[in-house]
Structure 1
């Protein structure tokens, strides 16, 4: 079986205080952290044992995972397995980077977000340069708020030339064409993020070759559709995998709409869908 898994355990704590995030500066109790660690280790053990499958794994924690040793260890160990094609995580990059020396750089990857005001710019840029020096695959992004434009321009000018800088449209923000043009000049793929994508009744890879998994092993087609397909650990989800159309009116998150078959994003991000790295220089989309 060829399968992409989006894993999100119970972790909901973060070391940043971003005003646009409901999990900012949230603290998990010791019991919650213990439960998250146990859930992640169970998932990583399951993935390690699926030697007959071809797996791609993206960790999408509500909080910041890489400040926790069990996430770093899982990425290292999973990256070394021959049947794991890619293992990646969304991160604010507040963690140290030396641990990546133990990972397979051909398999591990990071989806990094810069949050102005939460960490010194030079510190974040320095960590990006450290990743590049280690040969780690990574993308860097920013939320497209007006106050972030100068920082985004500086990032684009100072990041290594081959690093893709993506821009997420800010939730609830309406962009004028002029504003959208400023962001598109930095990220030619920004038009895909600017507006939600109509998805109702359209074919999507989620539920067939892509699934979402929570800390209990409950499998859903994606993070945004709550209907359950079964459980990862008893194998009941496998019989439910099949081509599906989307039941929602629109899809407005990259980790969702990237899997829509009506969009060309699997070609745009060929080989880098999970870590959001285009296969080549991104070009401005038409009809996005």
Structure 2
């Protein structure tokens, strides 16, 4: 493999979700059968591209607007891609509501999950039972919560019951301004909370997006990142290859993890290393060992 490693974020047409989170615009959306068929076909086409693109190492993160793992084609695709020798990581963002036994057929050195706990949508005991299933299977995963004030007690209880090696991340809630005390409380749970709590000024800063990271839509449109409109090529006609080059960010600020994690001055690739796609910090146990919530 002669080309550099490439991080690929894929988002197909799927928007349906089984949860009704008040902070999510896609909550409880139901996709019509024709959209589900289109999503399945698009995902299979993407998986075939991954299988055929053997000239560089690939890391893949599925970022559906909805919940992918309730759909068989996402489970089957992750399993398939996990066994490809040129795929370093295949991960998906998920609410962890779906069954986990299918991961027994995946290569657990490659497959991983970026999970989110949504209080009010699922009981803590049920969510933790899913986490224990992942631990028993030897699957790498992170657990996250949205940093709403009403979630703080649940997040603390969750941290106390998760194994120390499981990284608990916290996303700042959109529109919420954190007091110093609130920020300190969330930082006690996630030492990286400061990355999320304030938007990162980004205009003119060098970014890996569009150079060694790309965003792909279901029709194969390649963008430099989910948050910069405009195509730089298409996955299926090969035009993406010539489009890859060093770039600076055109946006005033970047406030989403899957965007700012690629800003070069932040150095977050060194923080996450091989856990970049599933949002697992390197040596995550060191971030929880001293917390009062793990004792």
On whether the aligned pair clears a TM of 0.5, the verdict is: yes
The residue number in structure 2 matching 1:37 is 40
The residue number in structure 1 matching 2:237 is 234
Contact 1:75 1:88 survives alignment (8 Å): yes
- The runs of at least 4 aligned residues of structure 1 exceeding 4 Å deviation read none
Q: Distance in 2 between matches of 1:266 and 1:132?
A: 25
The residue number in structure 1 matching 2:77 is 74
How do residues 92-131 of structure 1 correspond to structure 2 at under 5 angstroms?
Answer: 92-131=95-134
Q: Distance in 2 between matches of 1:65 and 1:10?
A: 11
Contact 1:57 1:87 survives alignment (8 Å): yes
Q: Distance in 1 between matches of 2:266 and 2:287?
A: 15
Q: Distance in 2 between matches of 1:279 and 1:171?
A: 27
Which of the numbers 48, 51, 63 marks the counterpart of 1:48?
Answer: 51
Q: Distance in 1 between matches of 2:147 and 2:228?
A: 26
Q: SS at 2:35's partner residue?
A: helix
List gaps (5 residues or longer) in structure 2: 289-295
The residue number in structure 2 matching 1:152 is 155
Q: Distance in 1 between matches of 2:52 and 2:267?
A: 33
Q: Distance in 1 between matches of 2:274 and 2:21?
A: 31
- How far off its partner does 1:52 sit? 1.9
| 1:25-67 alpha-carbon deviations (Å, 9 max, x no partner) | 0000000000000000000011011122210000000000000
> How many pairs were matched up?
283
Between Structure 1 and Structure 2, the one with more helix by share is 2
The residue number in structure 1 matching 2:167 is 164
- How far off its partner does 1:133 sit? 1.2
- How far off its partner does 1:247 sit? 0.2
- How far off its partner does 1:221 sit? 0.2
Q: Distance in 2 between matches of 1:251 and 1:218?
A: 22
Q: Distance in 1 between matches of 2:176 and 2:265?
A: 25
The residue number in structure 2 matching 1:182 is 185
| 1:251-271 alpha-carbon deviations (Å, 9 max, x no partner) | 000000000001021111111
| 1:191-249 alpha-carbon deviations (Å, 9 max, x no partner) | 11000000000000000000000000000000000121010000011111000000000
| 1:91-128 alpha-carbon deviations (Å, 9 max, x no partner) | 00000000000000100000000000101111100000
| 1:58-89 alpha-carbon deviations (Å, 9 max, x no partner) | 00000000000000000000000000000000
- The answer as to 2:197 corresponding to 1:202 is no
Q: SS at 1:152's partner residue?
A: helix
Q: Which has the higher mean CA deviation after the structures are superposed, 247-256 or 117-126?
A: 117-126
Q: What's the RMSD between the two structures over aligned residues?
A: 0.8
| 1:134-192 alpha-carbon deviations (Å, 9 max, x no partner) | 11000000000000001100110001110000000000000000000000000000011
